[in-house]
Amino acid sequence: MESLSLSRRTRTSFGLSGFADNLMGTCLGVHLFVFYTDVVGLAPLWVSAALAIALVWDAVASLFMGRLSDRTRSRFGRRRPYVLAGALPVALAFFALLCPPRDLAPHALAAWLTASLLVLSTARTIVQVPILSLLPELAKGSDERTALSASREQLGNVGDLVGLLLPIALLMATGAADEGADPSLARKSFAAAGALLSMLALAALVITWAGTKEDTNVPTPREIPLREVARALADNAPFRSLLGAAALAAVALAFVNAMILYVLEHVMEEHDPAVHLAAFVINALAAIASYPLWTRVVSRVGKAHAFRLGLALSGLAFGSVFFVRPGNLFALVMVMVFSGAANVGFWMQLSALVADVTDLDAARHGERREGLFAGFLAFTKKLAVAGASAAVGVGLTLIGYEEHVTPSPDVVFGLELLFAVPTTLLVLAALWIFRRYDASVPRPSPSPAREPVEA
């Protein structure tokens, strides 16, 4: 096992970028829809439309941000200036989302939501794509890349917990969660949560900028048309394998995240929000605790095999829904622990594997284009998540699920099938696509020995 030359400060500083991103992403993913519909009073259709617009824009912006950071030249580097430039807009846009002006008409409130989401999506892309592109420059060896990727994902899981729990804690502390409480208390609680979380995100991103370094002497890659970019990516077989596997895994996880509350409510018959919250916390804590174990696994079998193992274990976790019965809280805890640890197995390898792919690309073409690969991977993952969100709605319709109606046993069984079957098939497809992944840089062949010339 190679020794790590990266300092703990560098690993932590880079990892805090994941803390900032997940803190905001989890808070908005869990609380934004409920906040705007139940607290602010905006129709669900408006919220869905705003989220869809922002998600599509975010995917497209990721692709172009990667190319832009590759071609940036400054005495501070190609990536880090964007981290500093985007940190404050990220914080301000996030706060604006959770603190909309009072007494706005519905169309004006919808415009505020859409504009804030677009600004936040743009600012997060400006920050996060260059950060992911920076990983191959910070870490050259395999173990260093695993350590950096693990640090980002592990601190990202901490961000998940903070983004999930802080708004709930403030709602409980102010009495806004009590039945019949004044709605204005909930608005104040979310505004306070937005202020605290935005300051935490801003501080984390500033530390990422200050605690990392960048090679400023990397030659600028030539500018090529987008169609040639697509052709170059298509010619990179390892990247095709990684991109396909990552997209399928992202769809599976997005599907699970969208379905988990339906499983808790109707399969487990657990209607207590405290049980739901405890399940999410246990899942996140298990993920955080599993990083040292997965780091040892990677050191023994390599990143690619660890990625495959994590995918396979996640498939088993998705299928475990058939063994979780109403009232069996012990089984629920075991499933949440197992699934949290299993998902880490492939998710923490993703950034490190992308770094290896960019090395192969540089060896073939003589140019460093980390941003191109990071941006295209982000673009594909975000479109995959959007597709998963649409697929969940179609699946619920097909099994006959109706809101505010107690589901029949057939519908409950349909929920189990919908949770387990598509996700397991997606994981199997990801494993099949990834089966021949090999991003090793070929060594130059030695020059053939000259035969002696006869006199």
Q: Find all residues with CB under 8 Å of 37, minimum gap 6, and list them.
A: 43, 44, 47
Higher pLDDT, 414 or 92: 92
- What residue segments make up the domains of the chain, in order of their start? 1-212, 232-437
Provide the pLDDT for residue 327.
Answer: 80
Provide the pLDDT for residue 441.
Answer: 53
Q: What is the pLDDT of residues 303-333, one digit of tens each?
A: 889 899 999 998 888 888 887 788 888 888 8
CB 304 within 8 A of CB 437: yes
- Same CATH topology for 1-212 and 232-437: the answer is yes
pLDDT, average across residues 333-354: 84
The CATH number of 232-437 is 1.20.1250.20
pLDDT, average across residues 154-168: 89
Confidence class for position 449, pLDDT limits 50, 70, 90:
very low
Provide the pLDDT for residue 454.
Answer: 45
Q: How many residues does the chain have?
A: 455
| 189 HSE (CA, 13 A, CB side) | 24
Q: What is the pLDDT of residues 27-49, one digit of tens each?
A: 887 788 778 887 888 887 788 78
Confidence class for position 222, pLDDT limits 50, 70, 90:
low
Cα separations in angstroms, 16 against 19, 150, 224, 319: 5, 11, 33, 33
Per the CATH hierarchy, to which homologous superfamily does domain 1-212 belong? MFS general substrate transporter like domains (1.20.1250.20)
Q: What is the pLDDT of residues 277-300, one digit of tens each?
A: 888 889 889 988 998 898 889 888
Confidence class for position 452, pLDDT limits 50, 70, 90:
very low
pLDDT, average across residues 227-244: 74
Query: pLDDT at residue 399 above 80?
Result: yes
Least confident of 20-24, 115-119, 178-182: 178-182
pLDDT, average across residues 133-153: 80
Provide the pLDDT for residue 325.
Answer: 81
Provide the pLDDT for residue 447.
Answer: 44
DSSP annotation of 403 = T
Higher pLDDT, 392 or 199: 199
Q: Distance between CA atoms of 140 and 396, rounded to whole angstroms?
A: 46
DSSP assignment of 268-291 equals S----HHHHHHHHHHHHHHHHHTH
Higher pLDDT, 362 or 238: 238
Q: Express the helix, strand and coil content of the chain in percent, nearest 5 each.
A: 80, 0, 20
Q: What angle do CA 210, 75, 226 make, to 5 degrees?
A: 100
Q: What percent of the chain has pLDDT over 90?
A: 23
